[in-house]
Amino acid sequence: MSIAYASIAVVSMLAAAGCATGQGGKDAEESPNSENCAVQEHAMGLRWQQQSAEAQALQSQTYRLAGERLAEKVKQAKSENLAIVTDLDETAIDNTELLARDMTACHDYSVWDTWGHWELEGSPSAIPGAAEFFHKADKMGVSIYYLSDRTEENLDATIASLKGLDFPQVSKDHVMLLGPSKEERRTKIQREHEIVMQLGDTLHDFAGDYASADLDQQRQLVEKDAEHFGGDWFILPNPTYGSWEDAELDEWDAELEVNKSS
């Protein structure tokens, strides 16, 4: 995940627009299901991400296949300084408890103004298959770099969370948080390592071109980069937030017909 912390001005504007936190007066009595609670649109995706067995299976499947592919790459590699670059949030660790709490309070979690508290005191869980994969990479002698747009000021807390989940190679040198862009951080790693695999839940976890691209451009880039996916790039599912959130849906133009029961 890429977390872009909003300014106080933006937060205030969004709150005024109607996604209130529900403190005091009439707003406090409003149900999260009310028309004013736009963040409730994420309920189905959040429910799938946190509770579905299909999400669990897909996450485990992704890490198993990544492990098999990594073993092949290590055997084929000519360099001894191999590295994996992975995102954290919704790639290696699960933050859906925070998102669910915010949504229940009718608070737009995509503003990212509650993440600081979560980074310090929250308890993320490991994505199924993640810890096993990273330990396998560690045993193969592959360096692991955790690139996240969590805040640098909460580095110690993020390190503590990762150590609590028994992730390997967790240190201030290997946990690289928000400051330089992810592209710049990857470039820094490439000075001393050959990056043989990347993992993320959003496309700009893999290449800087995706960060500034609109949805149509992202689709074109995915076609261009098709050979990477499942090879040295592995993307994890995340239907809870992303650059696609405001996209319009394509609809069938036929008139609605409903089968009536006999």
pLDDT at site 21: 37
pLDDT at site 256: 96
pLDDT at site 13: 33
pLDDT at site 36: 76
**What is the CB neighbour count within 10 angstroms for residue 165?**
18
**Both tokens assigned to 209:** 């071109």
pTM of the model: 0.86
pLDDT at site 11: 33
CB 157 within 8 A of CB 97: no
Q: What is the SS3 assignment for 147?
A: strand
pLDDT at site 1: 59
Half-sphere exposure of 74 (CA within 13 A, CB side): 16
Gap between the Cα atoms of 188 and 210, Å rounded? 19
Of 88, 157, 152, 87, give the one whose Cα is nearest residue 123.
157
Q: Please report, as a single letter, which amino acid is at residue 2.
A: S
CB 67 within 8 A of CB 133: yes
Half-sphere exposure of 124 (CA within 13 A, CB side): 29
Of 132, 147, 124, 163, give the one whose Cα is nearest residue 201.
147
pLDDT at site 35: 57
Average pLDDT per block of 10 residues along the chain, 262 residues long: 40 35 38 69 96 98 98 95 98 98 95 96 98 98 97 97 98 96 96 98 97 96 98 97 93 95 70
One-letter-per-residue 3-state SS of 103-120: HHCCCCHHHCCCHHHHHH
pLDDT at site 23: 38
Contacts of 57 (CB under 8 A, 6+ apart): none
Sort 53 into a burial class: Cβ within 10 Å, 0-12 / 13-18 / 19+. Answer: exposed
Partnered with residue 143 across adjacent β-strands are: 83
pLDDT in tens, 151-162: 999 999 999 999
pLDDT at site 261: 80
pLDDT at site 262: 60
Q: What is the SS3 assignment for 133?
A: helix
* Pairing, β 125-126 against β 93-94: antiparallel
